[in-house]
Amino acid sequence: MNNKTVIITGGNSGLGLETAKHFAGQGHQVILAVRNTEKGKKAKEEIQRAYPEATIQVHSLDLSKLQSVREFAETISSQVGVIDLLINNAGVMMPPYSLTEDGFELQFASNHLGHFALTGLLLPLLEKGETSRVVTLTSIAHRNAAIHFDNLHGTSGYKSFLFYGQSKLANLLFAKELDNRLKANHYKTISVAAHPGISSTNLFTLGKKKTPWYVKPFLKLASQPAEKGALPTIMAATNESLRGGELIGPDGAGGRKGNPTVEATKKGIYNESTMERLWNISEELTEVKYPFE
């Protein structure tokens, strides 16, 4: 990579901020797509203290609102000729039950549907890049998860951890199905998934203002710092040996921490009918139609 344009959703804290620091430090133009622009500006200042020459923009993006996604995509399309790297990093983790203004369960909307719509809307700019990539963050929570097609939005019952798992499985299946369709339609852009293992970030507030006291001992024992957790994302975004469709995660026990590597997925995780059904319903719900045959 050399002097590329990189968009990072949720780039103002945690994994997103560490990822932004990496690319800013390498001299790339970094666009922080954030829900809270004040926090985004503080993140920009933090990055520029370390890298005074860094080129960083802050733009408003609330992935839980499709109107915000469309407005962000329109703004970027009017200002940027090419996107080289889209990192679908932002996420919410196990909040109390709520529906978005579009009528979707918050985690499914923020973690999956918003990124699905964003990627589709920005795909024409991505395809203009010579070696463009989409990196979508999933989680080890995908391993025991399922897509509840009969209760996608929790209207028939809701458990925050089950719906978090659903959203992260959707991230993984989207990343794989996107790569399949890009290849089938002869696009240059590739799609790769990544997960950070267990990383100590602000997601572990579990819907509260601060990380609960009973979670902190577990994090200290089992997690790794955000700068280490960002390494799978960076590998997914930059490693030249990747061809698309891979999952990158830590190489330690259970994929919880360690150095980044290509991870073997659970057998049967990429169920073709599930991926196609998820894709079709995502297009239907977001009203974003990808330009694929």
Quick check: 247 and 195 in contact, CB under 8 A? yes
Domains of the chain: residue spans and CATH: 5-286 (3.40.50.720)
Please give the positions annotated as active site: 164
Please write the tens of the pLDDT for every residue from 261-285.
Answer: 999 998 999 999 999 999 999 999 9
DSSP letters of 65-92? Answer: -HHHHHHHHHHHHHH-S---EEEE----
Helix (H) or strand (E) holding 272: helix 272-286
Whether pLDDT at 217 is above 80 = no
Closest CA to 140 of 213, 96, 203: 203
Radius of gyration of the chain, Cα coordinates, nearest whole angstrom: 18
Distance (Å) of CA 16 to CA 9, 61, 224, 248: 7, 14, 15, 16
Please give the pLDDT value at position 201: 54
Q: Tell me, what's the pLDDT at 255?
A: 82
pTM, entire model? 0.92
Query: What Cα–Cα distance (Å) separates residue 235 from each residue in 31, 241, 277?
Result: 19, 10, 29
Dihedral in degrees, nearest 10, Cα atoms 216, 219, 221, 225: -130
Rounded to the nearest 10 degrees, the angle between the axes of helix 14-25 and helix 231-238 is 50
pLDDT score for 215: 47
Share of residues in the chain with pLDDT > 70 (%): 91
Do the beta carbons of residue 149 and residue 170 sit within 8 Å?
no
Instruction: Using the predicted structure, report yes or no on whether residue 150 has a pLDDT greater than 80.
Output: yes
Q: Give the length of the chain.
A: 293
